[in-house]
Amino acid sequence: MNETVQAEAAKMQIVEFLGWIKELVQSGTDIATKEIPEILRQFIAWGLYSHIFWLVLILAIGTGALFLAKYFAKKCQAGKNNIYSIYSDVLEGWAIMLRIFAPLVMILGASYNLYYIVMILVAPRIYLIERFSALLKNQ
């Protein structure tokens, strides 16, 4: 008789424990179904806004570099006839390098960021799959 009471008590404890686990799992799934779509929306928004930020920054820095190259070119022309002509040669070299590399960097950076901006706007699920697979590969 004592063993029967102990067995019934053990069964009750197991049933209570399983009920507690069931409530825990249900509350976890409720939280997941409510929170995951919001997390995905925030992830997509973060990707979109960060690529727009980098696009604007690259274009601004590239445009500034092109204006700086123009400024260097004017200084070179002004310095050709004075004693500091060696500095004008250095400035002219920098102006040429900026005129070559600034548009190249602008084109590469803009195309990279525009690719992801278009991907986010047109196919956000593909963007999420690509970003999550990249995150998993890095771990």
Instruction: Give per-residue pLDDT as tens, 35-93.
Output: 678 888 888 889 899 999 999 999 999 888 888 888 777 777 765 655 556 666 667 77
Domain positions in the chain are 2-138
- From residue 8, give the alpha-carbon distance in Å to each of 19, 21, 22: 16, 20, 21
CA distance 97 to 80: 19
- Quote the tokens at residue 63: 């445009």
Angle among Cα 7, 12, 13 to the nearest 5 degrees reads 100
Query: Is the overall model pTM greater than 0.85, yes or no?
Result: no
pLDDT of residue 107: 92
